[in-house]
């Protein structure tokens, strides 16, 4: 994997990249999700896509603050990010986090920040359609049972259902749906800033309930497209002591593995 160029470095050359890759807090700091960041970067580099990152100039979008009810903090974080993005004349943003995607796409416009924002599932689909990602037939995932968990902020909030499935279909795998999927999909339990607190008392944690639905499909891989979902579903699979048999992976990891990329 080659060195990633920051927007400041692009600017110093008097150039600008095709896209800004918004890494997000999880992609930057969570040890598990850093692997997703590396996978997506390896795909972009293999496809010869010019991209930049903000590096240390990137801060949280403010999504957790707003969901937790701190509107003042959200607006402070959002305005700071909008100023940074506009300084670099950024217009196209791609992110692997549905929470970042939703906030940048739908909520920054309220504060004057207008950007073309794509989730990485849709961007991966476009690269596959354009032939920039090539996966050999009968590859590593041929015939493997994979189920996909719909992220709330990607699916119900933004109506992105087909792009992730189109990416998985390119793997030549056996895609099996959970009983609750697409518009009737079940939340992993992390949304609304719930990930940062202990659950209320009840009979069963929601992430275990959702993981049970995934395990019931008989899939050996649960595909996700969100850092929060990855954490919650992984914990649910571990709660059932199935982590040795069932892998929880992001779409970009599956595509990078299918291409034989190192990340």
Question: Tens of pLDDT along 121-166?
Answer: 999 999 999 999 988 765 778 889 999 999 999 999 999 999 999 9
Reduced DSSP (H G I as helix, E B as strand, rest coil) percent helix, strand, coil of the chain, to 5: 45, 10, 40
pLDDT at 100: 97
**Fold agreement (7-125, 135-259):** yes
Give the pLDDT mean for 33-52: 97
Alpha-carbon distance 11 to 14, whole Å?
Answer: 5
Domains of the chain, by residue range, sit at 7-125, 135-259
pLDDT tens per residue across span 99-127: 999 999 999 999 999 999 999 999 999 99
Q: Are strands 51-52 and 221-224 parallel, antiparallel or unpaired?
A: unpaired
Residue position matching structure tokens 């603050």 = 65
pLDDT at 167: 94
Which of 37, 4, 39, 47 shows the shortest CA–CA distance to 262? 39
CATH match for 7-125 among 1.20.1530.20, 3.30.530.20, 3.90.79.10, 3.40.50.1860: 3.40.50.1860
3-state SS string for 208-254? HHHHHHHHHCCCCEEEECCHHHHHHHHHHHHHCCCCCCCEEEEHHHH
């Amino acid at each position: 994997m080659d060195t990633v160029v920051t927007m400041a470095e692009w600017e110093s050359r008097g150039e600008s990249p095709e896209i800004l890759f918004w890494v997000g807090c999880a992609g930057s700091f969570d040890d598990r999700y850093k692997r997703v960041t590396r996978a997506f970067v390896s795909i972009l580099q293999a496809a010869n896509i010019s991209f930049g990152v903000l590096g240390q100039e990137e801060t949280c979008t403010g999504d957790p603050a707003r969901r937790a009810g701190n509107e003042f903090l959200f607006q402070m974080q959002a305005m700071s990010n909008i100023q940074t993005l506009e300084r670099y004349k950024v217009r196209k943003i791609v992110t692997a986090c549905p929470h970042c995607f939703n906030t940048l796409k739908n909520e920054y416009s309220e504060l004057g920040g207008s950007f073309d924002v794509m989730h990485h599932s849709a961007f991966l689909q476009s690269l596959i359609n354009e032939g920039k990602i090539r996966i050999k037939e009968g590859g590593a995932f041929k015939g493997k049972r994979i189920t996909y968990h719909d992220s709330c902020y990607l699916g119900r909030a933004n109506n992105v259902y087909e792009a992730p499935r189109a990416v998985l279909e390119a793997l030549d795998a056996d895609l099996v749906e959970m009983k609750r999927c697409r518009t009737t999909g079940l939340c992993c339990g992390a949304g609304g800033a719930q990930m940062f607190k202990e659950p209320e008392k009840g009979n069963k944690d929601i992430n275990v309930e959702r993981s049970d639905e995934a395990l019931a499909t008989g899939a050996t891989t649960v595909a996700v497209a969100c850092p929060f979902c990855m954490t919650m579903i992984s914990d649910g699979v571990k709660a059932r002591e199935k982590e040795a048999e069932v892998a929880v992976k992001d779409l970009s990891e599956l595509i990078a593995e299918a291409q034989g990329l190192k990340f």
